[in-house]
Structure 1
Amino acid sequence: MHTLKFAVVVAFCLVTETGCATLPDTDALIERHTGQAARFENARGSLSTGKSAAILAELKRKSGDIDILEKQIVLEQAITGSPLILGNKVTLLRDGAETYAAMFAAIRKARDHINLESYIIEDDDIGRQFADVLLEQQGRGVQVNVIYDSFGALNTPKAFFERLTDGGINVLEFNPLNPLTVKKAWLIDNRDHRKLLVVDGKIAFVGGINISSVYSSGSIPRRSARPLRPEAGKAVPWRDIHLQIEGPVVGELQKLFMETWEKQRGQPLAAKDYFPTLEAQGKDIVRAIGSTPDDPYSLIYLTLISAIGNAEKYVHITQAYFVPDPQLLQALTDAAGRGVEVKMILPGHSDSEIVFHAGRSHYSTLLKAGVKIYERRGQLLHSKTVFIDGVWSCVGSTNLDWRSFLDNDEINAVILGREFAQQMQAMFTKNLEASEAIDLERWERRSPMLRIKEWGSRLLERLL
């Protein structure tokens, strides 16, 4: 987050008193949502109880009868209300260059519509490449609809979006910072942190990657907590991942885009085939989870807390912005206390110094409880992933901080199965090899200046 952006956030938070929002009592909610039966859907709708039970039994057989499957499936469907859908093909995109190449390929093949939603769309090389290809497709009769966040795109000139509008693209600014342009209640602290692209209602992209050259070229015009030049004259690239998803669950992701458009009172969308008939494309089982401050509680927050609580063997987390609340901190330390291997890869430097030090202020508590912490070197870590017990994976836009859980619109995909989890494990291992373990004894000897920075940053945790 830019220093200017953080100053704006603090100012608005103080004016609007957004700190009044609170996180839910996770224990009570989890207890309330137990005791159901696992259910699945495919391209033709809900499966019978018998078929759902057979699918679950086969999943458990392949995964060594790990209890998290049944417990977590039941909890998630009760918590989120979104179905667990069979027949999808999920492709793990391991960096920005791979992600943008796949996105451009899908956009160029579009024949009906393109829906793009991104927290940040920058006026840089990558942003202009997206603008060019989107305008080209709009000119060919493919309807393009774009949602961008007003705060996330604070540094993007209005002329960039005016060019899109002038070319016929339907552009929507999420919760404008300027109250004079707001079409609904002025919810200044509610930000659209999602990264979602849906093409022809058949292929979707979701994850942590914004539209910005920092993910592809390593150009990094942001102030960091540590020097970002391991080699003279070379900026450190951002490390993040994304998913390409094909199959029936794309319809659920499309619904989330349409709901945001309607909630923000965007211009009526052109009549297109937004919900085509979707056939099975693979064997991946996926649940799409959208979270907004309008929900009674953060759906992804409770999903993550419950998944960590149901872990039996290991919890592996890669996280860009780690500012845990007491319940998340307790879930992690409790897991380690019952013998679960909890490993976290966190940034070794960040574009937000205050978030970086606020997260570090919790290291001692975690390390003493047996949680293993590693800091990524060589790249600026921006990934937001969790995978558990080799069968449950989560990739999306949600940070492990108060802002993501209370103030932001977020979007994540949960994938069940050992095959996809093996890809996650390979990526986690690669990141681990490029990370430095934090040793408790050495950490306790850190300098007084670092402790002061941690203390000061922690005072502002709720705003981060």
Structure 2
Amino acid sequence: MMRKILNQLLLVLLASMGTVGCATLPDTDALIERHSAQEANFETARGPVSAKRNAAILASLQGKSGDIDILDKQMALEQAISDSPLVLGNKVSLLQDGAATYAAMFGAIRQAKDHINLETYIIEDDATGQEFSDLLMQAQARGVQVNLIYDSVGAINTPRAFFERLSKAGIAVLEFNPVNPLTAKGSWQINNRDHRKQLIVDGRSVILGGINISNVYTSGSAVLQRLLKSPTDGVVWRDTDLQIEGPVVAEFQKLFLQTWEKQHGPALAAKAYFPKLAPQGQDIVRAIGSTPDDPYSLIYLTLISAIGNAEKTVHLTNAYFVPDPQLLKALTDAAARGVQVQLILPSYSDSELVFHAGRAHYAELLAGGVQIFERQGALLHAKTAVIDSVWSTVGSTNLDWRSFLDNDEVNAVVLGHEFAARMQAMHQQDLDASQRITPQAWAGRPLEFKVKEWLAQHWGRLL
């Protein structure tokens, strides 16, 4: 227990140190205006499609729901700010919560034939972590090269022996930005964390989203029990992930390898990291990765512009909500022009500071016409959006300053009505399990909450 308390105090100190001289959020209006005259283009496994087919794809998408401005403007902007293409021919499976996601991950690891690249923020030395480590070592033993990136802060409570066991089995293990400056291989950037969660198998499939490797996805966490001051039997973490097969997997593979190189990892074993990929389905996907090394957060600009281009609906579900002024303005501006803006946020959290810092903005959002719902019965950890029933994203990015400025993050953007319908059905399920926050009820909340919100909001940039 004492070790955990000391680690938490250390992280607060390091976070405050890391924000000195840090980057600021971009002027989104200027960047969006600069790139608004582009044209959206699509690619297949063989490269860009013809102009005729490109126009036909857009026309088909628009024809299903009328004139959706988000298609022309949003896809063009994403293309202009990112070198990751909008790729046709993928199969995207929606994974809800730990059981489904872990089953997909375990199945993919067992079927691996060439290599496994795993990138995670948290990997704990518990039953779930041990099951992962055993499966990874079994894969390594049968000739599959396993490469693991884990975040030093995220895994700060995981014993060193856990990773040494993997290394002795032949797995290439890389610690992202070590907390200990003496072990850093480059400049010591303690506030830059690797918050990405992705499992890439044989360069042909990727599983990504919000899930970490921990028992909390199968049972209530000890932290949550302390917060609620009561047992959490049956209360689990609510998360969302994707399994993607098809040509776009190469884009996620590039992101993994870029991180490995940036962190000065050892030379990787020669494997088929970029196999020839055939179409696997009909889904259109773009991989978007952000790091503090970029001129601005690609995911942040993508989301702000998607909200700005929305004509009908903006449905966001997110675990850690500490919005900056531009995000607040984008949400209230959308509501003001008649867009239905719905936020599903946690009703309790493993981070009390983040929880109350987010609630400090409820009054402004409610006054601006934004609908707010708090998820009951589970600790919400998902990070998703579905806009105008055609544009969806799932990934690791929270709606907070840390995700937009300090972390390496990764999201998949999926374009299409069929997948958006599945996202919308999931959104409705969460709505049904949520309590709506009304302006009247919020104004009458206890004084204790108001004090906590006032205090927490001053820590927003550090959270």
How does the TM-score come out when normalised to structure 2? 0.97
Secondary structure of the residue aligned to 1:160 is helix
Aligned match of 2:338: 339
Distance in 2 (alpha carbons) for counterparts of 1:18 and 1:322: 22
Shift of residue 259 of structure 1?
0.3
Evaluate the alpha carbon distance shift between residue 17 and residue 387 of structure 1 in structure 2; reply closer, same or farther with a 3 A threshold: closer
Matched, 1:278 2:277: yes
Q: Which amino acid aligns with 2:338?
A: G
Shift of residue 21 of structure 1?
1.9
Matched, 1:308 2:307: yes
1:190/1:407 contact within 8 Å kept: yes
Secondary structure of the residue aligned to 2:423 is helix
Aligned match of 2:169: 167
1:153 is aligned, of 152, 155, 166, to 155
Shift of residue 170 of structure 1?
0.2
Secondary structure of the residue aligned to 2:431 is helix
2:118/2:149 contact within 8 Å kept: yes
Distance in 2 (alpha carbons) for counterparts of 1:348 and 1:226: 12
Q: Which amino acid aligns with 1:312?
A: E
2:179/2:190 contact within 8 Å kept: yes
Aligned match of 2:90: 88
Task: Report matched runs for 1:398-413 at 5 Å.
Answer: 398-413=397-412
Secondary structure of the residue aligned to 2:90 is strand
Aligned match of 1:38: 40
Secondary structure of the residue aligned to 2:222 is coil
2:73 is aligned, of 71, 74, 81, to 71
Distance in 2 (alpha carbons) for counterparts of 1:3 and 1:432: 35
Shift of residue 235 of structure 1?
5.2
Greater CA deviation, 4-13 or 399-408? 4-13
Greater CA deviation, 22-31 or 45-54? 45-54
Shift of residue 247 of structure 1?
0.2
Provide, for residues 311-365 of structure 1, a one-character-per-residue CA deviation record: whole Å limited to 9, x for no partner: 0001001000000000000000000011000000000000000000000000000
Aligned match of 2:222: 221
1:225/1:351 contact within 8 Å kept: no
Secondary structure of the residue aligned to 2:102 is helix
Shift of residue 54 of structure 1?
1.4
Shift of residue 46 of structure 1?
1.1
Shift of residue 459 of structure 1?
0.4
Greater CA deviation, 61-70 or 400-409? 61-70
Greater CA deviation, 108-117 or 50-59? 50-59
1:3/1:223 contact within 8 Å kept: no
Distance in 2 (alpha carbons) for counterparts of 1:109 and 1:228: 42
Secondary structure of the residue aligned to 2:373 is strand
Name stretches of at least 5 consecutive residues in structure 2 with no aligned partner. none
Shift of residue 158 of structure 1?
0.6
Distance in 2 (alpha carbons) for counterparts of 1:347 and 1:225: 17
Secondary structure of the residue aligned to 2:67 is coil
Q: Which amino acid aligns with 2:400?
A: D
Secondary structure of the residue aligned to 2:314 is strand
Provide, for residues 128-184 of structure 1, a one-character-per-residue CA deviation record: whole Å limited to 9, x for no partner: 000000000100110000000000001111100000000000000000000010100
Matched, 1:396 2:398: no
Distance in 1 (alpha carbons) for counterparts of 2:59 and 2:256: 34
Distance in 1 (alpha carbons) for counterparts of 2:433 and 2:5: 28
Evaluate the alpha carbon distance shift between residue 172 and residue 416 of structure 1 in structure 2; reply closer, same or farther with a 3 A threshold: same
Distance in 2 (alpha carbons) for counterparts of 1:224 and 1:452: 23
Q: Which amino acid aligns with 1:220?
A: S
Aligned match of 1:238: 237
Provide, for residues 271-300 of structure 1, a one-character-per-residue CA deviation record: whole Å limited to 9, x for no partner: 000000000000000000000000000000
Evaluate the alpha carbon distance shift between residue 239 and residue 178 of structure 1 in structure 2; reply closer, same or farther with a 3 A threshold: same
2:19/2:462 contact within 8 Å kept: no
Distance in 1 (alpha carbons) for counterparts of 2:406 and 2:5: 19
Name stretches of at least 5 consecutive residues in structure 1 with no aligned partner. none
1:223/1:352 contact within 8 Å kept: no
Aligned residue pairs total: 460
Distance in 1 (alpha carbons) for counterparts of 2:33 and 2:226: 41
Shift of residue 226 of structure 1?
5.0
Secondary structure of the residue aligned to 2:393 is strand
Distance in 1 (alpha carbons) for counterparts of 2:374 and 2:101: 24
Aligned match of 2:209: 207
Greater CA deviation, 150-159 or 19-28? 19-28
How does the TM-score come out when normalised to structure 1? 0.97
Secondary structure of the residue aligned to 2:430 is helix
Secondary structure of the residue aligned to 2:322 is coil
Shift of residue 37 of structure 1?
1.1
1:51 is aligned, of 50, 53, 60, to 53
Distance in 2 (alpha carbons) for counterparts of 1:338 and 1:19: 37
Evaluate the alpha carbon distance shift between residue 422 and residue 233 of structure 1 in structure 2; reply closer, same or farther with a 3 A threshold: closer
Shift of residue 9 of structure 1?
3.1
Matched, 1:114 2:116: yes
Q: CA RMSD in A?
A: 1.4
Distance in 2 (alpha carbons) for counterparts of 1:58 and 1:156: 50
Q: Equivalent pairs: percent with the same residue?
A: 65
Shift of residue 213 of structure 1?
1.3
Evaluate the alpha carbon distance shift between residue 138 and residue 292 of structure 1 in structure 2; reply closer, same or farther with a 3 A threshold: same
Evaluate the alpha carbon distance shift between residue 414 and residue 247 of structure 1 in structure 2; reply closer, same or farther with a 3 A threshold: same
Distance in 1 (alpha carbons) for counterparts of 2:226 and 2:164: 35
Secondary structure of the residue aligned to 1:222 is helix
Shift of residue 64 of structure 1?
2.3
2:246/2:280 contact within 8 Å kept: yes
Task: Report matched runs for 1:17-28 at 5 Å.
Answer: 17-18=19-20, 20-28=22-30
Q: Which amino acid aligns with 2:42?
A: F
Shift of residue 394 of structure 1?
0.4
Q: Which amino acid aligns with 1:32?
A: R
Task: Report matched runs for 1:165-204 at 5 Å.
Answer: 165-204=167-206
Aligned match of 1:426: 425
Aligned match of 1:458: 457
Aligned match of 1:100: 102
Shift of residue 79 of structure 1?
1.6
